[in-house]
A and B are shown apart, each in its own frame.
Chain A
Amino acid sequence: MTVAMRAGPSQDEIRRQNLGALLRYVHVRGATTRAELTTALGLNRSTIGALTADLAGAGLVSEGTPKETGRAGRPSLVVRPESARVYAYAYSIEVDRLRAARVGLGGEVLDRRELERPRNLVAGAAAPLLADAVREMHRSVPPDSICVGAGVAVCGMVRREDGLVRLSPTTGWVDEPIGAALAAELGVDVPITVGNVADVAAFAEHARGVAAGCDNVIYLYGDVGVGAGIIAGGRRLTGHGGYSGEVGHMVVVRDGMRCDCGRRGCWETEIGEHGLLRAAGRSDARGREALLAVFDAADRGDARAQTAVRQAGDWLGFGVANLVNIFNPEMVIFGGTMRDLYLAAAAQVRSRLNSNGLPACLEHVRLRTPKLGDDAALIGAAELAFERLLADPLDVG
């Protein structure tokens, strides 16, 4: 950021911004005609032509004639992101699995690998596994491709300045430098950006998912723990150090159940995996499959499972009502295991939300499940890497 005293931005800066704006537009919306770009970006036709030529020269976009439009006149050229050639690597480190993917410009997952993750695996041990997956994918990458970087989604608290995973109670990580470990493993100079899984999933759904066009969004992500990615006024809310959104550790019960974080009565002890399985009398089971088995049993009439699901749904509504009152979002998205819980206990969630939420805050809030599904973490992690490209398109590559 420049803070020099100056009359206005320089020609170079304006140009960089325009290039970024154009590339972002086709990155988010896919193939777009020059005519539409002209209107959408408010630039004149020759500028759009010049910008497109620059981006095409750098191999980031291509231009082509559209399919028949059925209208008279010369059809406007279509600008497409070079999805197959320009890509980022995305990693998602979850409680029970590790995922790696190659995501093309435009948000398309080109290739992916998935590994099981033992629950105690530390960063130093996870990095080689992910690096192997990437090396394997790298073999099938076309030779003239451009890698713009890599993004990592981690279920844990991530320090913004260097991507250090400070605390991830559900994986047992404390101060794990996953970004550095991955960089060392891969031995390449691609920049690696690390983010919290709920934050990046919110980012992805906001850019190209169910929340596109919404500026105030809460994405609740659940696995063993529960976290939130919060978008307020169109911007990601990260907090001072990058740790905001740890809504799973809102204390909702005084002297309640013990949480993985060491405190008692956190929200996630009631709605997370452990709480739900315990209430259903299946304390020794773990993992998403076990959770789905509880929902299934409840659906088939198992009274204990039904009680557990209803109770968890009620608690989910309780916390969502608090969040809705604080942030006044237009959309709350339920991702990860929260999707399953919401759909299985929506009557309880909605009823509790309606009773506890303030009428003015409830007025326009929409409850949704993710459009991108489980891919949101990968696509969001890739978005972290693409952000650098979009900030200065001609500098990366």
Chain B
Amino acid sequence: MSATPLLELRGIDKSFGPVQVLRDVAFAAYPGEVTALVGDNGAGKSTLVKCISGIHPTDAGEFHFDGRPVSINSPRDAAALGIEVVYQDLALCDNLDIVQNMFLGREKRSGIVLDEPTMEQMAAETLAGLSVRTVKSLRQHVSSLSGGQRQTVAIAKAVLWNSKLVILDEPTAALGVAQTAQVLELVRRLADNGLAVVLISHNMNDVFAVSDRIAALYLGQMVAQVKTSDITHSQVVELITAGRSGNLGLADTGSNGTGAAPADTTPGAVR
């Protein structure tokens, strides 16, 4: 859709002590698109996300946001740019209601008291903007919500702050079929509303159902970033498990940390 990425990373390296977790990683996320980030356990997906969200500092590499070079040194920097992350555990408080959760730590005030009407209205507008119809009352406690509804609230919370890039870590893990379907539709709607969305998932159905691009990590290297319309299920599985598939992914000879630029495939090259 859009030609310029909202977020672009180049040459990201990250080590924990002697273990190099990310090696010369390049990654791009585009506005209006869902970019799926796939990879086996330990491939570096979570580390990459933590680098983007400012939790881990990177050892080397550049960040570009909206075409400008930026540095993200803390979660605050990431939030200031409009990057929000929804983690697997959702970080919601069971004993608070939906509005309180959505504004937790960033409450609106009028004078010295909380501005409840404004917060409630903003929460309602955000949920309506996402066409969420499953939540009955904004004042019900999160503990009374189903898994899918909790995920919905967590996602709405991320969207509330005029965020531009939303990263979702396994949003459908542990959900049943019907709720998975609702969350997938919500993920799609975020991107259709103009946000850049990064979806981390192990479930190939989820990836193919909503993504526009697929980025595959293999042992800390970005082996391919391709359009979802140019690749098949088995090719993605090969990229995840072997790092290459046909002419996609790592070159035959072992690369020495230089050949990990995202493979830009042309349609037709993939069959």
- Across-interface contacts of B189 in A (CB, < 8 A): 371
A355:B178 contact, CB within 8 angstroms: no
* Residue A196, interface by CB 8 Å: no
Query: How many A-B contacts at CB < 8 Å in the complex?
Result: 67
Interface residues of B in 156-197 (CB under 8 A from A): 176-178, 180-181, 184-185, 188-189, 192
Quick check: B177 and A362 within 8 Å, CB to CB? no
Besides the contacts A343-B180, A343-B185, A350-B209, what 11 more A-B pairs have beta carbons closer than 8 Å?
Answer: A346-B205, A347-B205, A347-B207, A348-B233, A349-B208, A354-B231, A355-B232, A362-B267, A365-B229, A369-B185, A369-B188
CA distance A362 to B266 in the complex (A): 13
Identify which of A295, A351, A355, A363 contacts B208 (C-beta below 8 A). A351
For A265-301 the 0/1 string (1 means CB < 8 A from B) is 0000000000000000000000000001001100100
Overall SS of chain A's interface: helix
Partner of A292, one of B178, B185, B192, B228: B178
Q: Is B128 an interface position by the 8 A CB rule?
A: no
Q: Does the CB pair A354–B177 fall under 8 Å? A: no
Residues 223-260 (chain A) with a chain B CB within 8 angstroms: none
* Minimum-distance CB pairs A-B, first 9: A346-B209, A351-B232, A359-B267, A346-B208, A350-B208, A347-B233, A347-B204, A347-B208, A351-B233
Contact A296 B208 (CB under 8 A): no
Interface size range on A against B: 20 to 34
Closest to A375 in B: B133
Q: Please tell me if A85 contacts chain B, counting CB pairs below 8 Å.
A: no
For chain B residues 213-241, which have a beta carbon within 8 Å of chain A?
228-234
Does A344 lie at the interface of the complex (its beta carbon under 8 Å from any beta carbon of B)?
A: yes
Please measure, in the bound complex, the distance between the C-alpha atom of A348 and the C-alpha atom of B207, giving whole angstroms: 11
Contact in complex: B234, A351 (CB < 8 Å)? yes
- Are A343 and B271 in contact, CB atoms less than 8 angstroms apart? no
**Residues B233 and A350 in contact, CB atoms below 8 Å apart:** yes
A339 within 8 Å of B by Cβ?
Answer: yes
Query: Which one of A299, A349, A363 has the highest number of Cβ atoms from chain B below 10 Å of its Cβ?
Result: A299
B contact residues around A37 at 8 Å (CB): none
| Contact partners of B181 in chain A: CB under 8 A | 339-340, 343-344, 369
B residues in contact with A342, CB < 8 Å: 209
Contacts of A367 in B (CB 8 A): 209
Q: Is A160 an interface residue (CB 8 A)?
A: no
Q: How far is the CB of A12 from chain B (nearest CB, A)?
A: 41
**Complex interface: chain B residues within 8 A of A292 (CB):** 177-178
- B111 interface residue, CB < 8 Å from A? no
Partner of B192, one of A210, A299, A345, A351: A210
Contacts of A350 in B (CB 8 A): 208-209, 228-229, 232-233
CA distance A367 to B267 in the complex (A): 18
Give the complex CA separation of A8 and B239 in angstroms: 64
Any A CB within 8 A of the CB of B131: yes
**A166 part of interface (Cβ distance < 8 Å):** no
Instruction: Kindly state the separation between the CA atoms of A396 and B267 in the bound complex, as whole angstroms.
Output: 52
Within 322-356 of A, Cβ neighbours of B (below 8 Å) are at: 339-340, 342-351, 354-355
The yes or no answer to B105 lying at the interface (CB within 8 A) is: no
22 contacts between A and B (CB under 8 A): A292-B177, A296-B177, A299-B176, A339-B181, A340-B181, A344-B177, A344-B181, A348-B233, A349-B208, A350-B229, A350-B233, A351-B208, A354-B230, A354-B232, A359-B268, A362-B229, A363-B267, A365-B229, A368-B188, A369-B181, A371-B131, A371-B189
> In angstroms, how far is the closest chain A Cβ from the Cβ of B76?
29
Which residues of A lie under 8 Å from residue B228 when comparing CB positions?
A: 350
> A344 → chain B, closest Cβ, in Å?
7
- Inter-chain CA distance A343–B176, complex, in Å, is 12
Name the contact of A343 in the complex, choosing from B209, B232, B267 (C-beta under 8 A): B209
Closest Cβ of chain B to A367, distance in Å, is 8
Name the residue on B nearest A346 (C-beta).
B209
Q: Report which residue of B207, B232, B234 has the largest number of chain A beta carbons within 10 angstroms of its beta carbon.
A: B232
Could you tell me the distance in whole angstroms from the C-beta of A343 to the nearest C-beta in chain B? 5
B146 to chain A, nearest CB (A): 15
Nearest chain A CB to B135 CB, angstrom units: 15
Contacts of B271 in A (CB 8 A): 355
Which residues from chain B contact A351 at a C-beta distance below 8 Å? 208, 232-234
Whether A354 contacts B229 in the complex (CB less than 8 A), given A340-B181, A344-B177, A369-B185, comes out as yes
